[in-house]
């Protein structure tokens, strides 16, 4: 091979090697940045105070708006374990009667998985949906989930499978698009999965249902006598945040835990979905999935507490815009004044960083009527939507700051128009217009005939 050819080949391979190294370096830097930024992804507030939470997947959201405040691997597919029962409860509450009596089948009682949690309901035992929901959500009773499903969909060929179909359909409707259920209680199955973000969507909707919200804050309970037993022992509360047995060891001091659901299987690890509210009424929802390790049953509570503490310390509901703030001054069509002020109807409050320097509110006006005179003072012309990083967080009506009067000549014209229509009814006006039209047609016809006659006379 000639020397020039060798040099060319050498240069080509050298260039390829340099490009490969550059690509690898860029990929490594991107991965490192993604790993470092994972805890602060999708906040939309710039640089917030960092926090280290030792959980593989979690999300913290504002309960009021559903806005993500903090997340890590929140779209990563995970096994939900018994947090599945949140969706079971949604379908049950939305499709059933809380006072309806339900009978436990032998299959429902038996099909709880190896070592599945249960409260010992017996085949043929009758309980109300309300009591079964409590057993399922508070004691995490697997058989309760099965009994509920079989009774809600009792008219179908395969009641439990029909109920699971309803669970999947409802998940899709709520926007939990990366979730799929194959059972009612969270028994492990490779095809039974969700994500932290999807679970937050599901849990947030569940907390809008009064029966669900009331049930998941339960700290102790016992069931009434049934057809199979005279009394129940006090039943376990799986949520250590709420269970008085732990003597408040897990109970946070700066905010109140208001629910909602625990979960555990070996493949899923320890999972916990938690809602909490502080003295200012700020309510947050935390989802922590996949905690493993020697002390995972305690660690999942530590991670959740840390996540909630960060949220309450970093964000608060604040007045972003005062009432009667000028939105803009603009011209109304037909108005006597050249410009009229439009203002916010009331103050705008939303969840924002405690550090005001990190606020990043975006504004967009949506008109609901044309800017035309006349208009009363305080009349709603549209609304202002406030968003952060493209996510709507608040809105307020935009109203006129004063009355908008018509120009004098337009006012006179309107008076004349009203007077005219008051004198002549619509029916009278229609008849008059038809008569005028007929007159014009007849006149044109007569003129045509007259011209034709004159032309004939000239011809002869």
Are 90 and 190 within one domain?
yes
Are 272 and 372 within one domain?
no
The answer to whether residues 179 and 74 touch, using CB atoms and an 8 Å cutoff, is: no
Are 110 and 208 within one domain?
yes
The model's pLDDT over 325-369, given as tens digits with 9 standing for 90+, comes to 999 999 998 888 888 999 999 998 888 888 887 787 889 999 999
Last residue of a domain, one of 400, 415, 447: 400
What distance in Å separates the CA atoms of residue 326 and residue 342, rounded to the nearest whole number?
6
Cis peptide before 376 (omega within 30 of 0): no
* DSSP one-letter code for 287: E
Backbone angles phi, psi at 156, to 5 degrees: -90, 165
What distance in Å separates the CA atoms of residue 12 and residue 6, rounded to the nearest whole number?
10
What distance in Å separates the CA atoms of residue 178 and residue 168, rounded to the nearest whole number?
10
- Choice among 52-61, 394-403, 405-414 with the minimum mean pLDDT: 405-414
Average pLDDT over residues 19-37: 37
**How many beta carbons lie within 10 A of that of residue 280, not counting itself?**
11
Residue 411 lies in a domain: no
Residue 22 lies in a domain: no
Are 190 and 231 within one domain?
yes
> Quick one: pLDDT at residue 26?
39
Cis peptide before 374 (omega within 30 of 0): yes
**How many beta carbons lie within 10 A of that of residue 103, not counting itself?**
15
Last residue of a domain, one of 314, 348, 368: 314
Residue 15 lies in a domain: no
* CA atoms within 13 A of residue 410's CA, in its CB half-sphere: 10
Backbone angles phi, psi at 256, to 5 degrees: -110, 130
Q: Confidence band (pLDDT; 50, 70, 90) for 420?
A: low
- Kindly report the average pLDDT of the chain as a whole number: 86
Name the residue range of residue 432's domain.
Answer: 424-459
User: Is 0.85 surpassed by the pTM of this model?
Assistant: no
> Quick one: pLDDT at residue 407?
76
**How many beta carbons lie within 10 A of that of residue 314, not counting itself?**
20
- Among 265, 311, 276, 305, CA closest to 288: 305
Higher pLDDT, 41 or 99: 99
The model's pLDDT over 8-18, given as tens digits with 9 standing for 90+, comes to 444 444 444 44
63 to each of 147, 184, 313, how far by Cα in Å?
30, 25, 16
**How many beta carbons lie within 10 A of that of residue 324, not counting itself?**
13
Total domains, the chain = 3
Read off the tokens for 340. Answer: 């009229």
Higher pLDDT, 22 or 236: 236
């Amino acid at each position: 091979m000639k020397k020039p050819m060798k040099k060319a080949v050498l240069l080509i391979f050298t260039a390829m090697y340099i490009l490969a190294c550059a690509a690898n370096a860029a990929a490594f830097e991107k991965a490192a940045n993604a790993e470092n930024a994972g805890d602060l992804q999708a906040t939309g507030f710039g640089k917030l105070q960092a926090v280290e939470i030792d959980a593989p997947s979690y999300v913290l959201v504002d309960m009021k708006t559903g806005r993500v405040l903090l997340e890590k691997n929140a779209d990563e597919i995970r096994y939900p374990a018994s947090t599945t029962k949140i969706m079971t409860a949604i379908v049950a509450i939305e499709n059933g009667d809380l006072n309806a009596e339900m009978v436990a089948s032998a299959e429902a009682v038996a099909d709880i998985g190896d070592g599945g949690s249960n409260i010992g309901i017996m085949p043929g035992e009758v309980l109300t949906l309300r009591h079964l929901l409590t057993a399922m959500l508070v004691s995490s009773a697997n058989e309760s989930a099965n009994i509920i499903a079989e009774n809600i969909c009792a008219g179908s060929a395969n009641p439990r499978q029909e109920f699971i179909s309803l669970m999947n359909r409802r998940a899709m409707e709520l926007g939990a698009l990366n979730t799929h259920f194959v059972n009612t209680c969270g028994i492990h199955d490779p095809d039974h999965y969700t994500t932290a973000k999807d679970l937050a969507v599901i849990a947030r909707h569940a907390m809008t249902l009064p029966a669900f919200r009331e049930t998941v804050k339960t700290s102790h309970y016992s069931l009434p006598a049934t057809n199979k037993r005279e009394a129940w022992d006090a039943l376990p509360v799986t949520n250590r945040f709420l269970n008085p047995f732990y003597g408040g060891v897990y109970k946070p001091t700066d905010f109140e835990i208001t629910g909602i659901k625990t979960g555990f299987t070996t493949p899923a690890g320890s999972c916990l979905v938690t809602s909490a509210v502080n003295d200012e009424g700020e309510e947050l929802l935390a989802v922590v999935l996949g905690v493993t390790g020697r002390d995972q049953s305690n660690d999942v509570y530590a991670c959740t507490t840390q996540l909630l503490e960060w949220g309450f310390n970093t964000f608060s509901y604040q007045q972003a815009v005062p009432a009667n703030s000028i939105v803009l001054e603009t011209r109304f069509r037909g108005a006597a004044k050249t410009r009229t002020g439009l203002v916010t109807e009331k103050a705008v409050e939303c969840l924002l960083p405690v550090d005001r320097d990190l606020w990043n509110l975006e504004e967009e006006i949506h008109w609901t009527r044309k800017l035309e005179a006349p208009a009363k003072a305080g009349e709603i012309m549209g609304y202002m939507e406030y968003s952060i990083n493209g996510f709507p967080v608040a809105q307020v009506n935009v109203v006129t700051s004063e009355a908008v009067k018509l120009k004098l000549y337009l006012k006179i014209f309107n008076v004349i128009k009203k007077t005219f229509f008051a004198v002549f009814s619509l029916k009278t006006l229609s008849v008059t217009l038809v008569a005028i039209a007929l007159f014009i047609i007849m006149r044109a016809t007569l003129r045509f005939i007259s011209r034709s006659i004159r032309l004939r006379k000239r011809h002869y």
